Amino acid sequence: MPVTAETQAILDMRAGAPALNELSPQDARKAMAAMRPQTDSPEPVAQVHEMTVPGPAGDIPARGYLPTDDPSGLPTIVYYHGGGWVIGDLDSHDAVARALCNRAGMSVLSVDYRLAPEAKYPAAAEDAYAAVAWINSMYDQQGGRSDRIAVAGDSAGGNLAAVVAQMARDRGGPRIDAQVLIYPVTDFNFETESYKVNGGGEYGLSEEGMRWFWDLYLNDHAEGSQPYASPLQANDLANLPRSLTITAEYDSLRDEGEAYAQALAAAGVQSSCTRYDGVIHGFVSAFEAVPEGNQALDQIAAELRSAFGMD
């Protein structure tokens, strides 16, 4: 189907702006911040806490969202923002974190992992894993259940969620019960059909842009074959958490996300995948303007509630 009217309006608004890969990483971050919808009244949640999480290279900034004043016993969604491992921050995904907190009825920990090129692979992945380990230790200290953790993220954040699920399995914990991968980066591979039909830049995320992100993230291209960079290239995908993958029709990353969902299922993992037609990369973050983004958030919330027996 053609792009939706709401999606076309977003593309029209962006027309004429320089591509992020034409800017320095620092200017790309400023450009992303400038495009952020400005609001004086974010969706309210019961509590929001600025905090830090101990990481392998120092404290990692994070933001906690609570759906109730007494969150004891509730699962925690550890969320990783998108932005090609180069841009994005807690503020860029504040609206998504608030929406997930309320719709799922769960605590959310949004993680401001180290960005490239200042901190290259595997810095972001190690920070992402450290956040889950910290949440697990908090459960232990408070006498809570350790099987109440989900990981989620969009784009590069979806990559990190998938990678953390593999890391936790490979390293003997902590336990993760569910993963939500929103148009994730899963493979250092530009030969898919979705790159061929969507990678020219007319729908936002281009092949050239993704090459730029990868080049800034990796120390060298050989690392792109490592599973903690390209989770689709893992030799073994068994014994991973149940998974929901969300993809967009007009997205360069569509096929690799769907391939990962299929590979998980083939490995015996409970894995589902939904493609939203007529929309582009980033549509979930644009949920306030794009109805399909709202639908996806509702689907994600329902999946997480199901995973934790909260139906």
Residue 38's pLDDT is what?
65
251 flagged as catalytic: yes
Alpha carbon distance 148, 62 (integer Å): 19
Choosing from 110, 155, 206, 243, which is the catalytic residue?
A: 155
Q: How many residues appear in the chain?
A: 311
Catalytic residue among 89, 94, 127, 251: 251
pTM for this prediction? 0.98
Residue type for position 154: D
Of the candidates 93, 194, 230, 281, the residue annotated as catalytic is: 281
Q: Quickly state the pLDDT bin for 39 (edges 50, 70, 90).
A: low
Q: How far is CA 140 from the centre of its chain?
A: 26
As a whole number of Å, the end-to-end CA separation of the chain is: 33
* pLDDT of 33: 87
40 catalytically annotated: no
Report the SS3 class of residue 107: strand
> Would you state the pLDDT for residue 138?
87
* 40-92 tens-digit pLDDT: 689 999 999 999 999 999 999 999 999 999 988 899 999 999 999 999 999 99
> Which class would CATH give 5-307?
alpha beta
* Spatial contact of 131 and 142, defined as CB atoms under 8 Å apart: no
